[in-house]
Amino acid sequence: MAEQLPLSRISTVDALVASLRSRILSGDLPPGAHLSEVDLAAAYGVGRHSLRAAFRELGRGGLLVHEPNRGVRVPVPTPEESEDLYVHRAALELGALRIALADGRSLAGVRAPLATLERMPDDEPWDRVALAHDAFHAAIVDAAGGRRLSAAYASLQGELLFFVTRIRPLYTVQTMIEAHRRLADALLGGDAARAEAALALDLAQGRDAIRAALAAAG
């Protein structure tokens, strides 16, 4: 059953996007699940035009797919899509890190999302863990100071979050914290070669974990 939308200053569409994103990332709406406009509009107590707008927003972020004559569903992740996303993500993150290091820019932006991760208990909902993880890596890209770089990375957020949730069987909150403590230590340590190597390793380990999780899921 859909949760009640919060009575707040955010729009109905924004509230729908947030709720449906949380349900997709938590697995309440699993890969392959079909989303019925009629059922969800009734469950949330909203008009179908608002729901369609939310579907479009989530579709732009890679969390929903629209198939002609078949409606809207949660995508089913594939190894090929995972690998393509890794290549794109690695190019953006490593490129941004090299720019930030060459320009002597601060990477202190990773501290706040790391602190958010460190406050999380072992049973923290994984969609929130994924959001903190995303904020950590977005801070690396933002450190380069390039508006278009940051926008390009932000456009990947939905897909990145979706794939990060796939590693849940292999990662715990604590292992996520420990991995990003090590990465933050390298990024903030003042050694450019060590920082770049640490980020490359973290990205490769994430790729390998997603590969393993997708293989295990069949």
Give me the domains of the chain, ranges plus CATH numbers.
Answer: 12-73 (1.10.10.10), 79-217 (1.20.120.530)
SS3 labels along 175-217: HHHHHHHHHHHHHCCCCHHHHHHHHHHHHHHHHHHHHHHHHHH
Residue 214: pLDDT band (50, 70, 90) is confident
Residue 9: pLDDT band (50, 70, 90) is very low
pTM: 0.85
DSSP bridge partners of 72: 35, 66
pLDDT, mean of residues 193-205:
96
Using a pLDDT cut of 70, give the percent of the chain over it. Answer: 95
Q: How many residues does the chain have?
A: 218
pLDDT in tens, 80-120: 999 999 999 999 999 999 999 999 999 999 999 999 999 99
